[in-house]
Structure 1
């Protein structure tokens, strides 16, 4: 049974390939006030982006949407109005590594910018099922992050195996570029949380993902309470 905890093996953007243009239109680059990419994220409504809570350590100020290449100016840059960090988040090792970024205004949806659906409260992934991770993260250890969006296949592994490799795993995780989505069957089922000592070439430690299905109610509550100034 993989319905309570499930984990992903392999690396995030390692050995990946460039994402096709005008695919993954929900991908967001979470940036600081210097215009530097600090984390990935993904658009779930016209005014909310999901990312990882630990990304707040880099003091993000805005998100960039509709841009596969971060050096290309054809995009929507939107200020973050409010950062909603899960109330039980303390550090990545203790879980709840999820943050909901409320944007200053609704983004314009078009052929370059679209939302992605979240999974239902109960999702069932099969062992060895192949999913994808996308982001602008490093392509190998000690190399700078890439400018062009990349995607790589990852596969579901058994939670018991993952527990043996990662002792003392937090709850509600799925075993990437931090903050980016884990994609299975067209749904964003996870948020990239951490890997082994930021080492991209490890062969024996799975990446860890926050299981979004466990936070559906939390996300819905914040989205529904959105207040507009206009």
Structure 2
């Protein structure tokens, strides 16, 4: 997996290259994106970072490749953060004990790049921590729609950093643009997004963050070519809505105390 992601001709946003990276965006008003989650992922002596987003008090969505790492992996979700370097009073740090990667996820071509993380204890919903809606299976975002992507960290490929949450506006593109650039593109499960002049983009470490269109999380930051930031490919959430709902039901069953039969 690590070798694949280091190939210079591959499409990928490296989750271990630093915290979330937004190019050409701007700092958001503190805590104005209360659904955002910052993932700290530890494997051995290595620590990597990804984005994610709260869809229910006990569930965060992110990209599968963020946690698909060899060895023992420990994930901590930080909610309610603006400056990730400060112990803000608004922050909730929750150790993730369980996550479910889509069974058809492919690390070779990033197909079905989605993971659902279970939070226990549940997040405390308040002004700074809230969940965001996801689309139904038949909902689609049209080409030309202006959406937003949020993340923490680098603001340029050269490594200028920002520890506060930043956001960039990106436009949904026609499918053929991504089909021409990547043979791995699947229109039903992916969304083609980007700024044509490449001055605006998500970047290394933004993986797992949401593509927010019309106040819903329609996509998950998945992959792009390292040296060419247009177009970017996002996981299409509506395709996986039935699978997400099924996993959420399983989460509920796991939390239901066992009650013996009356027989």
Q: TM-score, normalised by structure 1?
A: 0.86
Query: Residue 223 of structure 1: which of 248, 255, 259 is its match?
Result: 248
What does residue range 28-177 of structure 1 map to in structure 2 within 5 Å? 28-33=37-42, 38-57=49-68, 59-74=73-88, 75-91=91-107, 93-143=109-159, 146-170=162-186, 172-175=189-192, 176=202, 177=206
Report the counterpart of residue 206 of structure 1 in structure 2. Answer: 231
Runs (5+) with no aligned partner, structure 2: 1-20, 193-201, 258-263
Report the counterpart of residue 189 of structure 1 in structure 2. Answer: 218
RMSD: 2.1
- Comparing 176-185 with 85-94, which one deviates more in the overlay? 85-94
Runs (5+) with no aligned partner, structure 1: 1-11
Runs of 4+ in 1 over 3 A off after TM superposition: 33-37, 57-60
Displacement after TM superposition at 1:37 (Å):
5.6
Report the counterpart of residue 25 of structure 2 in structure 1. Answer: 16
Q: TM-score, normalised by structure 2?
A: 0.76
Using a 3 Å threshold, how does the CA distance of structure 1 residues 158 and 91 change in structure 2: closer, same or farther? Answer: same
Displacement after TM superposition at 1:36 (Å):
5.3
